[in-house]
Amino acid sequence: MKYVSTRGGDAVSLEQALLSGIAADGGLYVPQEMPLFSSHNFSGAATLADVGRIFLAPFFAGSSLAPELQEILAETFDFPIPITPLATPAGEAGLLELFHGPTAAFKDVGAGFLAACMSRLDAGGDKPLTILVATSGDTGGAVAAAFNERPGIRVAVLYPDGRVSARQAQQLTCWSENVLSLAVQGTFDDCQALVKEAMADRDLSEAHRFSSANSINIGRLLPQAIYYAHASLQHWFESGRKASFVVPTGNLGNALAAFIARLAGLPIDDIVIATNANRTIVDYLETADWLPRESIQTHASAMDVGNPSNMERVRALFGDAEILQELTRAVAVNDAAIEEEIRRTYADSGVIVCPHTATAIHVWRHMNEDQRKGKDWILVATAHPAKFETIVEPLIGTKVPLPPELARILALPSRFQRMQPELSALSDCLRNGYNAA
């Protein structure tokens, strides 16, 4: 399989798409063709890794990574992704729990898979690769955890000092020698600008062999389709019925993965998008005008995206607003509704959910009869509520129990380097590690 840029350009190999992240013409890589499966292709495939091996085989065909796919998947899916029942007075749904990975959020899937691929691609390089990540909190932790202790690869995580939560800060700073945690004296935008500046600097780029692991990398998208494939097949083999999903999304990566699974023939019926108050996608589906804007801060902070970059992929693979209106619908959920949903879900069902998951539950609960009836709904739960305890605990009036993976991380020693938002400071830190002046 070759990968092509959304803006034209030459087709490249999977390896090249993974290592460069973004295409030379500034576009995003998409698969050149889409495989088509039917459910019986997956009979006997029980685990996420089993389903993933069948699903990704065409996407890996012809790649040097193809013989390693099984091991890559075993490393990625070394935690469960169960569907648990959510019983409410309004009806029943399933919760697809994507938050049992090392940092208790669904980005562990994409980051883990990308790390497993990259460490195999670069085996034997004489200088380590340096993955640069700017993070406002969640992505950096998942990427650091995924690359932690991988030989031949180092990660530099840049985050705004004092502007991430205490638990997020711990997840950014508790790793081994190969993860450099840089507490930038500035904002997230400063971090992002600095990463861009460093990547564009020839000398620095060559000296450190920069690469990125951000959410537009195709290596983060492909594995996310696997949990949709697995969940829908499990439901299909149990009930003979298709599953419908409500997907909390920000940069549109999570929803796009569901679209890809359905396009590839998996037994998926409706896919409904839940956003927070950042309603760029919702407005586009309503008005057909694509109007990216500044993001606004919400309780579902990992979805605070005003310019969802994966829309470029969605339009390249599917088409513009008129076609997308046939494929999906999108609903924006504001902070007041998120709060109400967290409270209500706990009161009605005894289930504690994070603010991102609450957007999906809210959208499902407020569907009209026509939209909801006759379908089997699975609501996607993207983070463990204990990651967002400062929002959740006051709403439910009780402590959120810590899951073992978070408890382990919170107990580790933490270490970081403070840094001014300047290229020379970043250069010093990269050269000297934790001993920089």
Position of tokens 């997308």?
324
Q: Are 307 and 293 in contact (CB under 8 A)?
A: yes
Least gap, CB of 300 to ligand PLP (angstroms): 7
| 383 is a contact residue toward ligand PLP (CB under 6 A) | yes
| 249 is a contact residue toward ligand PLP (CB under 6 A) | yes
Stretch that binds ligand PLP, among 71-79, 116-124, 198-206, 246-254 (CB under 6 A): 246-254
| 303 is a contact residue toward ligand PLP (CB under 6 A) | yes
| 253 is a contact residue toward ligand PLP (CB under 6 A) | yes
Stretch that binds ligand PLP, among 113-121, 226-234, 244-252, 424-432 (CB under 6 A): 244-252
Position of tokens 């998951």?
357
Least gap, CB of 61 to ligand PLP (angstroms): 26
Position of tokens 């009161």?
347
**Nearest partner of 222 among 110, 310, 117, judged by Cα:** 110
Least gap, CB of 211 to ligand PLP (angstroms): 20
# residues near ligand PLP by CB under 6 A:
17
Closer to ligand PLP at the Cβ: 237 or 290? Answer: 290
Contacting residue, 120, 230, 344, 356, with ligand PLP by CB under 6 A = 356
Torsion of CA 56, 62, 68, 69, to 10 degrees: 0
Least gap, CB of 382 to ligand PLP (angstroms): 3
**Which tokens go with 80?**
């469960």
**Which tokens go with 418?**
């403070």
Contacting residue, 212, 382, 392, 419, with ligand PLP by CB under 6 A = 382
- CA-CA distance, 90 to 245, in Å (whole number)? 17
- Angle, vertex CA 70, rays to CA 128 and CA 108, nearest 5: 60
Contacting residue, 211, 212, 251, 328, with ligand PLP by CB under 6 A = 251
Stretch that binds ligand PLP, among 101-109, 117-125, 151-159, 405-413 (CB under 6 A): 101-109
Least gap, CB of 415 to ligand PLP (angstroms): 24
| 279 is a contact residue toward ligand PLP (CB under 6 A) | no
Nearest residue to the partner ligand PLP, using Cβ: 253
Enclosing H/E stretch for 428: helix 423-432
| 250 is a contact residue toward ligand PLP (CB under 6 A) | yes
| 302 is a contact residue toward ligand PLP (CB under 6 A) | yes
Other residues' Cβ atoms within 10 Å of the Cβ of residue 375: 16
**Which tokens go with 10?**
């030459």
| 107 is a contact residue toward ligand PLP (CB under 6 A) | yes
- CA-CA distance, 276 to 250, in Å (whole number)? 8
* Numbers of helices and strands, H then E, in the chain: 19, 14
| 381 is a contact residue toward ligand PLP (CB under 6 A) | no
Site string for ligand PLP, 197-226 (x = CB under 6 A): ------------------x-----------
Stretch that binds ligand PLP, among 245-253, 262-270, 325-333, 397-405 (CB under 6 A): 245-253
**Nearest partner of 77 among 231, 213, 263, 255, judged by Cα:** 231
- Angle, vertex CA 372, rays to CA 303 and CA 38, nearest 5: 80
| 254 is a contact residue toward ligand PLP (CB under 6 A) | yes
Q: Are 198 and 88 in contact (CB under 8 A)?
A: no
Least gap, CB of 217 to ligand PLP (angstroms): 12
Contacting residue, 75, 108, 122, 138, with ligand PLP by CB under 6 A = 138
- CA-CA distance, 272 to 255, in Å (whole number)? 8
Stretch that binds ligand PLP, among 100-108, 145-153, 167-175, 285-293 (CB under 6 A): 100-108
- CA-CA distance, 194 to 134, in Å (whole number)? 8
| 252 is a contact residue toward ligand PLP (CB under 6 A) | yes
- CA-CA distance, 161 to 81, in Å (whole number)? 33
Position of tokens 């706990």?
346
Closer to ligand PLP at the Cβ: 52 or 250? Answer: 250
Residues that bind ligand PLP (CB under 6 A): 105-107, 138, 215, 248-254, 302-303, 356, 382-383
